[in-house]
């Protein structure tokens, strides 16, 4: 097999992408370093030059792939919005549309990559658990911060608890992914998020 020419940045990127694909399909514990280097067209020596072990690879994956993806798709839009309910609705719809475009079969078989890693590894690796917890915390804080600003602007009902709502929204998104994966039924995912959209509308401050 031909191997990639030496380019540290490209090598690291190739390893992370191959690792994401491998861990998403087979889990962290079932993931194979041999398959990762084959997919990335690298040697194990090149992999270990960047990542001393498998755990370091997973941590880098959270820091350098999962967190930036969530920053772009969720955190920034919520930090910039003046209407958090509408933004949350649009983000949920975009999430569903993205899965539909990529093909829901893979999502139904493998589920949510963040939820999968958290469920599998939180009891086994405290450093990785902490990284994943930081990601979930940032997600909740982006939602609660947007809702809190909405309250100050009079858009969101003053009676709600933004932190509680953020926990509920994240739990709904991640939990329904697990249900759909278990049932192999994308309609479960669609129905749950449709219900979540309806619930979000109840957070609006009614017009006087």
Every domain of the chain and the residues it spans:
1-52, 58-201
Position 201 scores a pLDDT of 95
pLDDT (tens place) for every residue of the chain, 208 residues total = 444 446 778 889 999 999 999 999 999 999 999 999 999 998 888 899 899 999 999 999 999 999 999 999 999 999 999 999 999 999 999 999 988 888 878 887 888 899 999 999 999 999 999 999 999 999 999 999 999 999 999 999 999 999 999 999 999 999 999 999 999 999 999 999 999 999 999 999 986 4
**pTM more than 0.85:** yes
Within 8 A by CB and 6+ apart from 187, the residues are none
> What is the spatial distance between Cα 125 and Cα 162, in angstroms, rounded to a whole number?
30
Nearest Cα to Cα of residue 88 among 6, 155, 1, 20? 155
1-52: CATH architecture? Orthogonal Bundle (1.10)
Position 6 scores a pLDDT of 60
> What is the spatial distance between Cα 65 and Cα 44, in angstroms, rounded to a whole number?
21
Residue with tokens 């997919």: 39
Q: How far is CA 27 from the centre of its chain?
A: 15
- CATH number listed for the domain at residues 58-201: 1.10.357.10
């Amino acid at each position: 097999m031909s191997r990639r020419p030496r380019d540290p940045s490209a090598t690291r990127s190739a390893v992370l992408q191959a690792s994401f694909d491998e861990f998403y399909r087979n889990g962290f514990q079932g993931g194979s370093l041999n398959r990762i280097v084959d997919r990335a067209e690298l040697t194990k020596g090149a992999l270990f030059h960047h990542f001393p072990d498998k755990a370091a690879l997973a941590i880098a994956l959270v820091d350098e792939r999962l967190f930036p993806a969530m920053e772009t798709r969720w955190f920034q839009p919520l930090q910039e919005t003046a209407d958090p309910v509408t933004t949350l609705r649009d983000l949920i719809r975009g999430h569903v549309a993205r899965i539909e475009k990529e093909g829901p079969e893979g999502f139904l078989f493998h589920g949510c990559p963040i939820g999968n890693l958290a469920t599998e590894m939180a009891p086994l690796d405290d450093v990785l658990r902490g990284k994943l917890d930081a990601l979930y915390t940032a997600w909740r804080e982006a939602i609660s911060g947007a809702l809190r600003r909405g309250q100050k602007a009079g858009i969101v009902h003053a009676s709600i608890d933004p932190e509680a709502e953020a926990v509920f929204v994240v739990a709904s998104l991640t939990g329904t992914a697990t249900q759909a994966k278990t049932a192999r039924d994308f309609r479960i995912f669609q129905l749950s998020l449709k219900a979540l959209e309806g619930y979000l509308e109840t957070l609006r401050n009614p017009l006087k």
